[in-house]
Structure 1
């Protein structure tokens, strides 16, 4: 009896110590992420939290917003953004270079109000006609698609014509709502963003000659408070379980 009591007490003590250890190891991981993977994050974050006990605190932003907040000294543990942006932050000493990991890639697309006629955008000429025929277009000028779109307008020689049609909005949600409400005819964003919004349908991707793929790339902050938990999150984002979610949300895993 004494032996059993001793073992029971030992087991209880071990469980208490284990619980305390897990509590001590559980971390709050601060993540800065581009909006292109938002739909995937909504499923991936809870999976990671359940599997590890860590908590993810994440805020999303387009290229310009992320740049301003990080430049202002925003504290974070993990950055997941386009590869070019992450490489720039690495050069600035804000990201540990040896943690750089490509997660997924996504292209740019055109969206229209659900149920509305969809223009042909399958070729460069068709894409140009669709732009010129549209009564109005919207995009986020600080987002990666909006920045690229300005170059596309110039390349197609229609920058001046598009000024009168353009209704740029600094908030992506507002731009997409304008399309859903019929206030703008076409929207230009990453395809994952367009697929995730009710009331907006994907017309299609940019034609290959005008397309630009964004490779969502992760890196641990040089000043991270939770570097090990951030590394664990990167490992999870490249796992088979995460790949299933990434594909379901319209992206391609960066690694085949």
Structure 2
């Protein structure tokens, strides 16, 4: 049988496509990103769109902004893990920047996050719309959980004092390392708990009661930055600018955060 040859024009076009694909692959970057829980859902919801638009591939991991657990972002950087981008609580990020762990000038503010409280799905919901209502919710709970990150540190060091119940909560309020507070509540290990709203919202098996009152509220800023020594600093900055783009504000807002970028 006579072999069928492709026309010269077709071969030329095919070669051009192959070269374009090879060039695209050569310029694509693998970005290793570690984000804390407060921005995790927003990051997950936007990561696919970033990969499609940029051609880059995200290698995503999770860890708290502070604390001493193995996957905490400061602990990862201290042991020299190869990371390109961190997304975390703004104050904790500023500390790492001051220590020289992050590229100067690379910080991008992404969103603000208020604290909310939750109960197990179907359980009676306390009224926490007032400071006294929040106080009573803490006192009437058998077991209370809060995180080992920004919101939990605030609850432990300031909020319980503001509510005048620090002594009464000893022995029945616990700071939870690494595990989301919502999961502790869903599994029945606590019947009331508080954390960033954006961290509670993705958890199945709980009902979010509401935000804590404005008089005692703490809004946490989430920011991202390029890790010093990143092998892909340009792509890392591109990712942060993408996440902060006004077109993505609505997606961020749907996760329970208050986006910093104004929507179009």
TM-based fold match above 0.5: yes
Runs of 4+ deviating beyond 3 Å:
4-10
Q: Alignment RMSD, CA only?
A: 1.8
Number of positions where the alignment pairs a residue of Structure 1 with one of Structure 2: 251
* Secondary structure, counterpart of 1:131 in structure 2: helix
Alignment partners' CA distance in 2, 1:38 and 1:227: 21
* Secondary structure, counterpart of 1:172 in structure 2: coil
Alignment partners' CA distance in 2, 1:181 and 1:32: 26
Q: CA deviation at 1:5?
A: 5.3
Query: Which residue of the other structure, out of 37, 48, 51, is the alignment partner of 1:49?
Result: 51
What's 1:68 paired with? 75
Q: CA deviation at 1:97?
A: 2.4
Give matches, 1:178-217, under 5 Å: 178-217=184-223
| Residue 122 (1) aligns with residue 125 (2) | no
* Secondary structure, counterpart of 2:216 in structure 1: coil
Query: Which residue of the other structure, out of 235, 246, 261, is the alignment partner of 1:229?
Result: 235
Give matches, 1:87-236, under 5 Å: 87-140=94-147, 142-150=148-156, 151-173=158-180, 175-236=181-242
Alignment partners' CA distance in 1, 2:10 and 2:115: 60
More helix by share: 1
Contact map agreement 2:73 2:86 (CA 8 A) in 1:
no
TM-score, normalised relative to structure 1: 0.91
Unpaired segments ≥5 residues, structure 1? none
| Residue 80 (1) aligns with residue 82 (2) | no
Contact map agreement 1:139 1:172 (CA 8 A) in 2:
no
